[in-house]
Each structure stands twice: as C-alpha cells, then as structure tokens.
Amino acid sequence: MVPLMVPKPAWLRVRLSSDSRYFQVRDIVRSQKLNTVCEEARCPNIHECWGTHGTATFMILGNVCTRRCRFCSVPTGLPGSVDRDEPRRVAESVVRMGLRHVVVTMVARDDLRDGGAGAMARTVGAIRAAAPACRIEVLPSDLTGPDLVARRSSVEALVDSGPDIVAHNLETIRRLTPAVRSHSDYDRSLGFLRAVKERHPPAVTKSSLMLGLGEEEGEVVEAMHDLRAAGVDILNLGQYLQPGRTQLRVKRFWRPDEFDRLRRIALGRGFRSCAAGPFVRSSYHAEEQAAAACPS
C-alpha cells in the first residue's frame, strides 16, 4: 500500500523566497550542470538557503543513488560514469557564489571500489585551490564498495584531502535503521566517524538524526551517547518530512519545545554544537554552526 501524506502542523509552514539571490544560485547550479541535495532531496529550506543566504549544498557523483533508503526521494538505479570535470565546476561555482563555507555531499556509489572517496577528495582539492579561504564541509556516504565493505583506506583518502569538517549521518536510531536505511548499518556509520578521528584527531566531525519515524526520546539520547563515544563534535536534529507518497510515513511530529529539550541534552552530553528544530537538516546554517564549533 502506498503511504499516505500526513498533514503538517502549523509550525511546519515554509515561507517561499523571491529574493534575486535564489535565482542567481539556481542559474549558477544549472549553468554548471551540477546537482544539489536541496533540489534532489526536496529540502524544505531551499528558499531560505538559496534566497536568504545565497548558499547551496552540492551533490556530486550524479543524481542516481545505488541505495533505496525509505526516507529519501533521490532516484535509485545504476549511476553513470564518474564525471572527471565535476570537481572543477563545483569549485568555480563556489567562487562565483562567494561562499565562505561550502557543503559537498554525494549519492551512495556502491558500484565504485572506493565508494566515491576519490571523487570527493578531488572536489575538496579543487575547492581548496580555487577558494583557499573557504571552509569545506563534506557529507559522504559510508564509502562502501561493491562488496558492501566500508574500506578504511577510502575514509583515510578523504580525510587526507583536508576538509575542515567531515560529516556522516546516522539518520535514525539503532532499532529503526534496518527499516529506514538501505544497505546501511548503524555500527558501520559509527565506525566511519570513529575512523575519521583516528586518522586525524583534530578533525571536526558531525552527524544528524531525523525524528518522527517512531523513535522514543530515550532512544535518541542513546544515539547521542553512541555518537559522542565515536568522538562526534556536532549534532543536528530535525523533523522527518515525507517527501513523496512512496517514502515512509511520518509517525510523529516533534514539537519545537521538544527539540529545544533535546538540544540542551545534547550540549550537556558534550557536543560542541547542536542545531535542533523542525526544519534542521545536515547542512542547515552550516556556516554559523561551524564558526561556533571549529577551532579558529
């Protein structure tokens, strides 16, 4: 049966933007033939980020994912070949937008032996060369290859390329992971984040959780504990919103005051920064969050 779309409460109304910067960002992205998670994942913050802040989250390695996570609207299938010119176009877009902080994410590429680590490392290098003052945040998959084994060498290659922040999303609590995430593993994700710190202890790491899929508060707090044990510095907590009829249905809308309580708990657990709220996503207000959490 196709999941129904659950009506949203009043606090989840999105304000559209007609700011000229929205169209400037859109035109740059399209002229460079780039993908953004803003569009592909139907992010509710696209008008704020593109219009108000003039930023976008670049999604490399195509717009077709090798996984079929039940919360995500990105198409699943066999991706095309790796575009070797894409890092240059991303870097040029960063310069044209005048970004001081850029987030680069990716589709899962389980068809590639390194899981896409090399392409993301080349993108980091291209941005660093074109915009040396820009802070770079990467949000990769777990870099699993075709045999479904996450290789430590892939993580190390990405870390060695020199991003300022390495993010990887746990997405949901341990109990719900098998039903929510495709070809993913709760402990493998924690291992990815732990491996980043082991390769480069000063690295700033970040993760995010979606709420509203049936988790209990105690389970969210347990996930916080697991992330801190893996050395994660920054945590984001946001409300899951069903992007289409084929994705999982929302089980519960967490209230803004509940997000505020979870944020206080997270900071009490030792996270350097925690953004928590209905519209919070992985890269939501990433520049301001990084400025507060990263060493100068």
**Residue ranges of the chain with pLDDT lower than 50?**
1-2, 51, 54
Phi, psi of 135, deg, nearest 5: -80, 135
Q: How much is the mean pLDDT over the chain?
A: 87
Q: Supply the pLDDT for residue 198.
A: 96
3-state SS class at 205: strand
Whether pTM > 0.85 for this model: the answer is yes
Question: What does DSSP assign to residue 43?
Answer: -
First to last CA, the chain: 52
In tens, the pLDDT along 45-86 reads 555 555 455 466 889 999 999 999 999 988 999 999 999 999
Distance of CA 134 to the CA centre of its chain: 18
Superfamily classification of domain 19-293: Aldolase class I (3.20.20.70)
List Cα–Cα distances, 134 to 94, 95, 122, 128, 130, in angstroms: 8, 9, 16, 7, 9
3-state SS class at 128: helix
Tokens of 156: 């190390």
**Element at 35 (helix H, strand E):** strand 35-36
Do 234 and 271 meet the contact criterion of CB atoms below 8 Å apart? yes
List Cα–Cα distances, 241 to 5, 75, 247, in angstroms: 9, 17, 10
Domain ranges of the chain: 19-293
Q: Supply the pLDDT for residue 48.
A: 58
Residue with the two structure tokens 């969050």: 289
